[in-house]
Structure 1
Amino acid sequence: YHDVGKMSNPTFFTENQTTSVNPHDELEPKESARIIINHVIHGIEIAKKHNLPDRLIDFIRTHHGTSLVFYFYNKEKQRLEGTDEEVNPEDFRYPGPEPFSKETAILMMSDSVEAASKSLKEPTATLIDNFVEKIIDKQMDEGQFLNADITFKEIQIIKKVLKRKLKNIYHLRIEYPE
């Protein structure tokens, strides 16, 4: 249910693009970020309209925390390079709140890793390990899990599980040192 809000504009999300046409190509980065961010707001509205439990709505509300829509943030920075204009990160930030339970934190980690993994071209076991570490460490550095009552040890276990799952998806064998 966490992505139910994508139903409002499904073709603006890569998992729903079946052709090479990307509607974001015609938009300014700030407008694209607004559409992406709004899937959370629309998801909450849809869930409330259909009387879904508040606990489920918590997952919709927190699955991106207060993170940046980084791709479009960077695109806007590049667009404004060489001008006097500056990018306001708040225009590219999800409204939050940050995850506030172990379960909502796990969803944030899993969703981010799964979505980003689609960009991997020729994954290796080492690449996947580093990839998962980088994504979740960034979330930790941003303080996304500070309210989630989740331990560092539990986050390490989640990383291990996500690495194993991605390696299974890509049918990779474990690399043994020589």
Structure 2
Amino acid sequence: MDLKDISVSIQTGAKADIKEALKELGKYDTINKRNKKQIEYFIQEQADRYSGIKNPLNKSAVLKSLETFAYVQGFSQYDQLNNILIKALEDANGNVRRSAYYLTEWMIWALLPNPKYRKLIALILEYEQRVLNLVLELNTLADKHREEFENKIYITKNPHLFR
């Protein structure tokens, strides 16, 4: 699985699963048709925007869709949620644990008090785990390529050892 496959699978999976979670929410919430269309449009827009992303951890369709979801649901704490998500996106490039921490902070802060959001919380945790697994996979690939590269350099610098 290469980087492009990973980004596309995150993007398509996020779009489908978050739509499913929204359907689930529709059973409890009275979302008028206009808002529902708006939510679907924003999720589609985010998924389209990130369909060709180079680094799925840096520009995660999952995080962006959830950020959009918070916005269209009209959380009064949108600015704070947005700041937490921005931190998560920035940290996804470096410290994965810290990124996961911010994502979890966002989840607890925004959704936990409301039992209606249990399915969405489960999705967030699932994607958090998926992203961490992908990071491990990417790190393994990077280590493998680094090792191959170092071996080639060693052979190039010491050709007499390999005659």
TM-score by length of 1: 0.27
Structure that is richer in helix per residue:
2
